[in-house]
Structure 1
Amino acid sequence: MTCTTCPYCGVGCGVIATVGKAGEPSRLHIQGDPEHPANYGRLCVKGSALADTLGLEGRCLQPLLRDGEGRTLAASWDQALDRVATGMRRIIDQHGPEAVAFYVSGQLLTEDYYVVNKLVKGWLGTANIDTNSRLCMSSAVAGHKRAFGEDLVGGNYRDLEEADLVVLVGSNTAWCHPIVYQRLMQSRRERPEKRIVVVDPRRTATCEQADLHLSVKAGSDVWLFNGLLTYLEEHGVVDTEFVAKHTGGAAEALAAARASAGRLEVVAKACGVPVAMLQTFYAMFASTRKVVTVFSQGVNQSSSGTDKVNSIINCHLLTGRLGEPGMGPFSITGQPNAMGGREVGGLANTLAAHLELNDAQHRQLVQDFWQSPVIAREPGLKAVDLFEAAHDGRIKALWVMATNPVVSLPDADRVREALGRCELLVVSDLFADTDTAAAAQVVLPALGWGEKDGTVTNSERCLSRQKAFLPPPGAAKPDWWAVCEVARRLGFEGFDYQSPHQIFDEHARLSAWRNDQHGVQRAFHIGGLAGLDTDAYDRLRPCQWPVLRRGDSTARLFHDRRFFHADARARLVPTPPRAPANAPDDEFPLVLNTGRIRDQWHTMTRTGRASRLANHLPEPFVEMHPYEAMLCGVQDGTLVRVASRWGAMVARLRCTADQPRRTLFVPIHWNDLNASDARVGALVNPVVDPLSGEPEFKHTPALVSPFPVDWHAVVFSRSPLQFTKADAPAYWVRIQGDGFLRYELAGRGLIEDPQQWSRALLGVGQPSTWLDVHQDGTQDYCAAALDADCLLACVYLSPRADLPSRSWLGRLFEKQALSEADVVGLKLGRSVDPADDAGATVCSCFSVGRNTILDAIRDNGLTSVEEVGRCVRAGTNCGSCQPEIRALIANARLAENA
């Protein structure tokens, strides 16, 4: 039994992993750690399914080198590392260290992050290292630093439970941070007087239990909170003593707010919400002392993201509502170690230990501690600029670690072009077939979750251990080890670590180094954890920094009214609102917003391998208001093309009134390995916040048009389909099943011989039984291949999209032998027994389908989520499916009363 930490979102849940005697992932049992302060035993569906993602299929198990003709060759670590070091040395000698860059990830452990940052800034002497955390949290970082003098989240998750009002801004918490949401909902059940406000253009699952949903226009957050700031002043809700003694800039911030948002009518028009609703929110905030404002990507991912962050913080500073239980601004991070990366200087404009790269005293402090030959003197290139520099030839060597920028970055097709122009591209990853690794000259096999060892820091400053409980597969190695080996080959000393605990010790000592001297006092301090031996490091339990002495854990900052500017005061920052950089026009009249869905993570390289995570929303989709769809000439359930000035994609349309008029929503997850053309990053405009460098993922002008096809097909197969880009259908999606793969296909042109086409597509050789069914008078066709009574593959083809139930077909593949009724059902395209069809997945934790839930509601007269849970288990684990269950209950009631 191993206590470790989940590798997904920034909640940082504790996990207990128990491995069977054979030490195989297939015999792994995962459960929540009841002692971990982030989750107290709860796990969301992604965390619960971790064991399903740990198989070695598709893993990169040894270094790979690509020659000049594009051939991939297996290599030894020595060969691969020599090529990396030789290539870097040549490029540095010819072009200087600024021609080398690293792009890393919040998926790295703190120890990995620390070592690569040390190499780049202290030995190569450049700051050209940035992280995919730039894409999600850098606006929060910049806002924190402007307000507090340091990148600080002062509160903790308990504050959300203790608050009387929780405001969720730009955060679909129910889906993106399910465990925090469940803690919030539990506190609401215990204290029904607690109120929740959601600020989000979309009506998401998070809105379902809210007292108030402000469906603001995309990009209008600064108007909203400037309006709140002026309302608070006008109604005397100001902590005058706190403002006078502990802050600066209040007069300037209030003047800027009054200039833009002095009247409710002006704010209401700018935000697109009724005046009465605005007054209700402002009055709730003004009358409630214990308020927590939670904000996430909907705030950060904006060309004005930093100002949005500060407009929120201003309201808490004006009222003195921070530093005490149940109050304060709270930035909730997207990745498991986004905060740990920030602690060690993972961003291009920072140094380790929360020190500033543009401060000469800070640079000297770090160089003295490291005893490094040089120190980077200027901020490096932030993520979008870094890849633009690769595109124009300024960056010639690039090392990408644990991230997939060809999918995740804006203007992603240009990113792909940039990678192709690098003289040396190194990718460290679990898989060699990612969109990014496909372009690399060197692919290094990394360790994944369950194999690597180190620490992570979650959204509430809680430092936790992530431990290895599986052996390293093949030749895979830790990322810190690979970096150290390259450093040695470059002739650098100071990289002779033998274990991650040695790196952690150095990191802890640096955090305490001269931390109270010469005006460089800083909150980040884990000096109490310095000097741990291997056993103590292994036993380390979760704790929140600062940790000045061993055994400390700091639940909350700012209670002493001390901040981290030189005068120990916080700052209210003027935030004059500005419109998004790219406005819709006649050519691209809609606003594209991107984000996550419930059961997938980032670019699906990991979660896409778990069958129970695939069935809730299995295809790439675009959400659109029905009226807008009518204007665009597209229909619900059909394929559509979504385009912007930067790129295009194809997805299935989902019409919903939950999506505001004139807007679109597309998930970020699909890539070129599991869909034909669904990388939404290719559409996103590359405009960034001028302070944080964070891209504008929430506001890209776009267009939707029909994507006509002549036929549709669904294919189930125990083996992958083999088609090249040249002979692939116009649209395809690959979906992982339990022991099989499912493909959704659509194409153009007539298939003249469906039997020949299906046999060539399935490639099953000579099965013992081949079933062919042509529907008389139609172009409908189905075929199935069986080995004895075991189903190997099947295909259903039709000019219509209404193909057989996928949940029913999937269950046939779970059977060792088909019954006669099953074979009859295959020929009919439907189950002989309707009870066999569970319907589309609603609860992924327990694989409970829509039909199963509806049958239980009707047959048993169920009227609550709790009753459904007791009957069929749905909604009883992470709870993120509860909003859908409530909707099904409501729909069943409507049907009864119709």
Structure 2
Amino acid sequence: MFDGAELASGGQREVKTTCPYCGVGCGVIATVKANGAVSVRGDADHPANRGRLCSKGSALADTLVPDGRLLHPEIGDRRVSWDEALDEVARRFSNTIAQHGPDSVAFYVSGQLLTEDYYVANKLMKGFIGSANIDTNSRLCMASSVVGHKRGLGADAVPGTYEDFECADLVVLVGSNLAWCHPVLNQRLLAARAERGTRIVVVDPRRTDCVDAADRHLALKAGTDVVLFNGLLAWLDSRGHRDAGFTAAHAEGVEEALAAARADAPDVATVARRCGLDEAEIAAFYAEFAATGRVVTVYSQGVNQSSQGSDTVNTILNVHFLTGRVGRPGCGPFSVTGQPNAMGGREVGGLANQLAAHMGFTAEEVDRVGRFWTAPRMADKPGLKAVDLFRAIEAGTVKAVWIMATNPAVSMPDAGRVRRALERCETVVVSDCIRDTDTGRFAHIRLPAKGWSEKDGTVTNSDRTISRQRAFKAEAGEARADWWIMTQVARRMGFADAFPYESAAAVFREHAALSAFENGGARAFDIGALSGLDDAGYDALAPFPWPWRAGGEPQKRLFGDGRFFTADGRARMLAVTAKPLPRALPDGALLLNSGRLRDQWHTMTRTGLSARLSAHAPEPRLDINPADAAARGLTDGGLARIATAAGEALARVRVTDAQSEGTIFLPMHWTDRFTGACVIGRLIDDEAVDPVSGQPDLKRMPATVEPWRPDWTAFLLARRPVEPAHGGYWARRAVGSGNLGGHLVEMAGMGAIPDLTAWLPCLDPAGAAVEFRDEARGGLRMAWMDGDRLEACLFVAADGRLPPRGWLAGLLEADGLDDGARAGLLAGRAPGAQADEGRIVCACFSVGINRLVGAIRDRRLTSVAEIGAALKAGTNCGSCVPELKEVLRHAHQREVA
């Protein structure tokens, strides 16, 4: 157990907090030295990670820099006091409501908020403004799971705990790249595999790194998960694998669900044909599922981000209900969330179709919440979901929007529409810790929010564990907590009596009390045991799973007694039928899939500050199957133009047989701050959404791909971030170590090399200390100096031949350049023997491909374990292990050849 929030040792402080990245919810110990330097390590006492951190968590200290922070309130581009900014927000929202009604305003919030922030936002909008127009970016990742849970389980409650990964005999990963998106959970699963033989099946069109350790990979056609699981349901029943006792006593809709499954997927041959799989591999999977008593089915965005995501969730639940595999150790469906507090947001009603404490919009629930809040103007119907919300802003029916801790101008589908909407909106308020985001550029009012290291509150992870996030740094500039900002606006709007909060603990107590109010065990979410927690108890609060009802104990696993949170206490099996692709696929088009990379997070406002996290995938990268690449004339490492009905993008090509034929994959992380033309939201339209959850289909957008062959290529190294003004291709990333270094911008374009003054407006070519032009080869090299210190250097080539970047990036870290370094700079050759690390493979220890291959060759390394012993690569989070194996294979193949 935790032994206190803050420990003191040798003149330094240690603060226990929680990682701000994915929904695993790892415990972190931040060590703050007397000089203010911070280091982080995993908390061995935290039940989620037991001391492990992934590459992103391990690099958290790299991101605690002032770069880009929003430090003061602003109206327009004018710095103002908090009083002026808060008064202006309250005035604008109050006036809009008075003129156009409560539904003319909206909040768009985020799983990056703490639960206390979320609670105040939901209370203000739904109880006092009187509209339910508050939605969250969780609509883009977890809304379909919410629907599936509520329809099948009666509540939005994950049945199990992470411990089930370790006591299951079979774990089925469906649409979940656990190895990259939830690496610490993947490590727990791999440990179970090594220690007790847990088998792993991956169901995914892509061969992700999860497949490296899997016993079986079902690379089904995109969007055919319902067929696969309907087939499994019918197959299990036809062969006598129904748990008749469980279904008779605890489930409804069994025969209807089975009839639909039989009609949809009557036999293995039909499933194989529709899913694009071999009959034998489907039959083997079905038989393995049937023969294994303890099965956990883990699913994530590959299931949720679909126009039939809710139905897919219910097909998975149906299989577990039919076989009674729920509520027992090592059994059950398991939704892993994408954000650190997606679950906490759902607990307080962050979605537009929810009220706080897992209540909805029945008359009884509206009355209950209204009485608890003493709300003068209680919303009595669901509000606009994310896609419809931004459409309403574009149409002008929503005239004021407050966006908190998220970047919808990048992450929403049809980002072009979102940008048009924000540009036309009368009032756009943005609360964020970063000043210059794609969304922030549309703000009329900017409010500086605290960052991760400064925030105090709670978050809830994927297995319902609530953990404390504790501040260990003073706030930057005038940054304030989100709950405080909203409380101050609420008071200025005339609601002071209902918003008396002076601490996060006070908000948490009210949240806990509401969860227990007139509950009596009817609602899953109940933390009433903590409604009387004092400030000291809140500060020292240890991680715990909900529910924790007054007089009881925290409950790790739900439904073990066969009681569900439906009106009659019985689980619901739904009749589900697979639907066709939501969009027509023209001849020659491919299906565009989007998702996360191993070392990046959302729109890179945090991870983009870390050089080691940016080095594994330094540019936006299009994954394509070799056959599809050959048919289109694409080459590995070249550039491609991707076009859809919504927009276009440019990306670097990676030809890989991990990508199935007929599909392409493009990461979601790049924004206008980091690239010239690869915002994924601009490629995916908002026409295809789940009809129940409102979650957009982000995985199956028809796209065409063709080579984009530039006339010139270039790169710029600079101490300051640069956004080139030219209209071709560019991608920026951090380089260097710690707080040293700068930024590397890769560039390419068509036609003549553009005028440098317009191209790089932050640099003055006339002030360049040195310049070299190679007229014959169309080359240009320039360097900007401040005395002996290098400020920037530019290399341009018409023939594509550019020098290695690694050693040049190292020059930005030097206090000054000697004569040898100056000569090597313009020559494009390192003085002496300087090794170039190359592309980073292991982000935890910054081990690059060149050093890795050299060590394998020179030290005769033959295994991942030997690589770990020699270079440490693969010994922390383990996310790079599949890639290390691939490098080993290629190195040995070259040696044999």
Asked if TM exceeds 0.5, the reply is yes
Equivalents in 2 of 1:245, 1:766: separation in Å? 81
Q: Distance in 2 between matches of 1:878 and 1:91?
A: 50
Aligned residue runs from structure 1 range 41-120, under 5 A? 41-66=51-76, 72-120=77-125
CA distance in 1, matches of 2:250, 2:832: 71
2:423 counterpart residue number: 420
Aligned to 1:356: 360
Name the CA distance, whole Å, in 2 between partners of 1:356 and 1:772. Answer: 68
Shift in Å, 1:685: 2.1
Q: Which residue of structure 2 aligns with residue 152 of structure 1?
A: 157
Instruction: Write the distance in 1 (CA, Å) between the matches of 2:753 and 2:18.
Output: 51
Q: Is 1:596 paired with 2:601?
A: no
Q: Distance in 2 between matches of 1:540 and 1:785?
A: 53
Secondary structure at the aligned position of 1:356 is classed as coil
After the TM superposition, which of the residue ranges 695-704 and 834-843 deviates more from structure 2?
A: 834-843
Q: What does residue 69 of structure 1 align with? A: none
Is the partner of 1:355 in helix, strand or coil? coil
Q: Report the Cα distance in structure 1 between the residues aligned to 2:670 and 2:859, rounded to whole angstroms.
A: 39
What is the CA distance between 1:580 and its match in structure 2? 2.2
Q: Secondary structure at the match of 1:491?
A: helix
Q: Secondary structure at the residue paired with 2:357? A: helix
In structure 2, how many angstroms separate the alpha carbons of the residues matched to 1:448 and 1:178?
A: 23
SS of equivalent to 2:47? coil
**TM-score, length-scaled by structure 2:** 0.95
Q: Which residue of 2 aligns with 1:736?
A: 734
- The aligned residue for residue 709 of structure 2 is 708
Q: Partner amino acid for 2:187?
A: Q
3-state SS in 2 of match to 1:890: helix
What's the offset of the Cα at 1:309?
A: 0.4
Shift of 1:804: 2.2
Deviations 1:688-745 (A, max 9, x none): 100101000001111112323210001111234475x4xx251111211222111111
Deviation at 1:785, TM superposition (A): 4.3
Structure 1 stretch displaced more, 618-627 or 270-279 = 618-627
* Cα distance between partner residues in 2 of 1:442 and 1:60: 12
> 2:837·2:847 contact (CA, 8 Å) conserved in 1?
yes
Q: Does residue 1:537 correspond to 2:545, yes or no?
A: no
Question: Where do 1:178-197 residues align within 5 Å?
Answer: 178-191=183-196, 193-197=197-201
| 1:228 partner SS | helix
Structure 1 pair 802–666 and aligned structure 2 pair: CA distance change class (3 A): farther
CA distance in 2, matches of 1:683, 1:470: 39
Calculate percent identity across the aligned residue pairs: 53
Structure 2 match to 1:463:
466
Secondary structure at the counterpart of residue 452 of structure 2 = coil
* Deviations 1:269-315, CA, capped at 9 Å, x for gaps: 11111111111111111110111100000000000000000111111
Spell out the pairing of 1:875-886 with structure 2 (5 A cutoff).
Answer: 875-886=874-885
Task: Name the CA distance, whole Å, in 1 between partners of 2:443 and 2:551.
Answer: 44
**Equivalent residue number for residue 132 of structure 2:** 127
Alignment check: 8 A CA contact 1:14 1:36 kept: yes
Report the more deviating stretch, 546-555 or 521-530.
546-555
Question: SS where residue 446 of structure 2 aligns?
Answer: strand
Q: 2: CA distance between counterparts of 1:581 and 1:543?
A: 41
Deviation at 1:606, TM superposition (A): 1.3
Conserved? CA contact 1:831–1:837, under 8 Å: no
**When the two structures are superposed, what TM-score results if normalisation uses the length of structure 1?**
0.95
CA apart distance, 1:374: 2.4
Counterparts of 1:229-628 in structure 2, within 5 Å, are 229-357=233-361, 359-492=362-495, 493-516=497-520, 521-549=522-550, 552-586=553-587, 589-628=589-628
SS in 2 for 1:657: coil
Q: Is the CA contact (8 Å cut-off) linking 1:773 and 1:827 kept in structure 2? A: no
| Alpha-carbon RMSD | 1.9
Shift of 1:22: 3.6
Which residue does 1:799 correspond to in 2?
798
SS at match of 2:498: coil
How far has the Cα of 1:676 moved from its partner? 0.7
Matching of residues 688-837 of structure 1 within 5 Å: 688-721=689-722, 723=724, 725=725, 728-738=726-736, 739-751=741-753, 762-763=763-764, 766=767, 770=770, 772=772, 774=774, 777-786=776-785, 790-818=789-817, 822-823=821-822, 825-831=824-830, 836-837=835-836
Give 1:49's aligned amino acid.
Answer: A
- Looking at structure 2, the residues matched to 342 and 887 of structure 1 have their Cα atoms a distance apart, in angstroms, of 40
Spell out, residue by residue over 1:339-393, the C-alpha distance to the aligned partner (whole angstroms, 9 max, x if none).
0000000000111111112x11111111111111121111111000110111111
Q: Secondary structure at the match of 2:453?
A: coil
Deviation at 1:786, TM superposition (A): 4.8
CA contact (8 A) 2:399 2:426 kept: yes
What SS does structure 2 have at the residue aligned with 1:156?
A: coil
d(CA) in 2 for partners of 1:62, 1:300: 38
- Between 798-807 and 826-835, the greater mean CA deviation after superposition: 826-835
Cα 1:695–1:752 change in 2 (3 A) is closer
The answer to whether the Cα contact below 8 Å between 2:673 and 2:723 also exists between their aligned partners in 1 is: no
Q: How many angstroms does 1:801 deviate by? A: 3.6
Alignment of 1:831-870 (within 5 A): 831=830, 836-870=835-869
Whole-Å separation in 1 of the counterparts to 2:217 and 2:820: 50
CA contact (8 A) 1:671 1:679 kept: yes
**Per-residue CA shift, 1:226-268, capped at 9, x if unaligned?**
0110111112111100010000111000000000101111111
The one-letter code of the counterpart of 2:463 is E
Q: Tell me the SS of whatever aligns to 1:294.
A: strand
Q: In the superposition, relative to structure 1, how do residues 542 and 752 fare at CA in structure 2: closer, same or farther (>3 Å)? A: closer
1:16-35 correspondence runs (5 A) = 16-23=29-36, 27-35=37-45
- The residue type paired with residue 885 of structure 2 is R
Q: Give secondary structure in 2 for the equivalent of 1:16.
A: strand
Counterpart contact for 1:758–1:795, Cα < 8 Å: no
Q: How many Å separate the matches in 1 of 2:580 and 2:618? A: 35
AA at the equivalent of 1:17: A
Cα distance in 2 for partners of 1:760, 1:100 equals: 38
Q: Is residue 227 of structure 2 the alignment partner of residue 223 of structure 1?
A: yes
List gaps (5 residues or longer) in structure 1. 67-71
Task: Quote the residue 2:3 is aligned against.
Answer: none
- What SS does the corresponding residue of 2:781 show, helix, strand or coil? strand
Partner of 2:4: none
Instruction: Identify which range, 542-551 or 494-503, moves more after superposition.
Output: 542-551
Alpha-carbon distance in structure 2 between the residues aligned to 1:117 and 1:225: 36
Alpha carbons 2:777, 2:799 under 8 Å: kept? no
Once residues 223 and 791 of structure 2 are traced to their aligned partners in structure 1, the CA distance between those partners, rounded to angstroms, is 51
What secondary structure, in the 3-state scheme, does the structure 1 residue paired with 2:381 have? coil
- Partners of 1:757 and 1:406 in 2: how far apart? 26
2:217 corresponds to which residue?
Answer: 213
Amino acid across the alignment from 1:527: G
* Shift, 1:169, TM fit: 0.5
* Partner Cα distance (2:759, 2:365) in 1: 66
Judge conservation of contact 1:721–1:762 (CA < 8 Å) in 2: no
| 1:860-891 alpha-carbon deviations (Å, 9 max, x no partner) | 22121111011011111111111110101111
Specify the alignment match of 2:673 in structure 1. 673
Shift of 1:766: 4.8
Deviation, 1:627, is 1.8
Q: CA deviation at 1:810?
A: 2.2
SS in 2 for 1:353: coil
Contact 1:404 1:603 in 2 (8 A): yes
Using the TM superposition, name which of 690-699 and 713-722 deviates more.
Answer: 713-722
CA deviation vs aligned residue, 1:41-95 (integer Å, no higher than 9, x gap) = 11111111111112122211111112xxxxx111111111111111111111111
Contact 1:729/1:746 (8 A) holds in 2:
no
Aligned-partner SS, 1:329: strand
Amino acid at match of 1:698: K
**SS of alignment partner, residue 651 of structure 1:** strand
Q: Which amino acid aligns with 1:697?
A: L
Q: Is the 8 A contact 1:717 1:762 kept in 2?
A: no
Mapped to 2, the partners of 1:487 and 1:373 lie a distance apart of 13
CA shift for structure 1 position 817: 4.8
